[in-house]
Amino acid sequence: MTDIHSKETRSYNMSRIRGKDTKPELLVRRFLHAHGFRYRIHLKDLPGKPDIVLRKYKTVIFVHGCFWHGHHNCKYAAIPETRSEWWKAKINGNIIRDNKDSKFLKEQGWNVIILWTCDLMKSTRNKKLLSLIEELLTLR
Ligand SMILES: [Zn+2]
């Protein structure tokens, strides 16, 4: 059977499935860009493949989905009632991996900033993004 998808299409589809270029992340990227910040994205040679990398500020930014990354005390991170033990184990595994990645990055001298998607919803977005920029400017 012939594979009708080109390699490019396939990797595009895969990246969609893994949740890259999700909307909140694009929002942060556009905002940074509009304010003159330059960055790289998804650098594979760094632990956890940070979503946004600002070398000049020695800073990596992760835009975490509240559910998958287990945002503490967040209503969007509620564990489903069906197969809840399985979900708990799954999400806890993600949290442990995230902590390990950011510890490793910090040991290498990176500033690690984590943005949660719930903070990027319409009502809180601008405040959050402005405080991100303030934070970056102190790191300069
Ligand atoms: Zn949240």
CA of 56 to the centre of ligand 1 (A): 28
Homologous superfamily in CATH for domain 19-138: VSR Endonuclease (3.40.960.10)
For residue 42, the model assigns a pLDDT of: 84
CA of 66 to the centre of ligand 1 (A): 4
Residues measured by CB to lie within 5 Å of ligand 1, the ion: 66, 71, 74, 76, 116, 118
The span from the CA of 75 to the CA of 106, in Å, is 29
pLDDT digits (tens, 9 = 90+) for 54-107: 999 999 999 999 999 999 999 999 999 999 999 999 999 999 999 999 999 999
Domain residue spans of the chain: 19-138
Tell me the three state secondary structure of residue 73: coil
**pLDDT confidence tier of residue 13, bands split at 50, 70 and 90:** very low
